[in-house]
Amino acid sequence: MHVGQRVEFIGPGIFSWLPSHHTRPVPGGIYTIRDMYIDPWNGNAGLRLVEMRREVISQAGVTMEGGWLREEFRPIVSHKTDISIFQKMLKEDANVG
């Protein structure tokens, strides 16, 4: 994954620890990575998203914006469409008849 990449939220979407007025990712929702980080308190890889901001957390001398667990997102991979095989088939078919 990288900054700027589109990702899909595949987590369970259960945020009982997060106050209800906070914006949270929705299962199946598509988001854009704004920043990636390693959580200094537990070592988990995290993502910050363009579409939502989290509260700033201060704990044990570290102050930072919260984020979301990286493992709860999957990259959206776009493939360039290649029709050359079909063009070749048409060319071969035209040469037969």
Residues contacting residue 11 through CB under 8 Å, at least 6 positions apart: 25, 27, 68, 69, 72, 73
Give the Å distances, CA to CA, from 20 to 14, 16, 72, 94. Answer: 11, 8, 20, 64
Q: At residue 97, does pLDDT exceed 60?
A: no
Note down the domain range covering 55: 6-96
pLDDT band at 94 (very low <50, low <70, confident <90, very high): confident
21-66 pLDDT per residue, tens: 667 899 999 999 999 999 888 888 999 999 998 888 787 888 888 8
In-domain check, residue 74: yes
Q: Does residue 30 lie within any of the structural domains?
A: yes
User: Is residue 1 domain-resident?
Assistant: no
- For 93, phi then psi, to 5°, come to -65, -40
pTM over 0.75, yes/no: no
| Domain assignment of residue 25, yes or no | yes
Counting the structural domains of the chain, the total is: 1
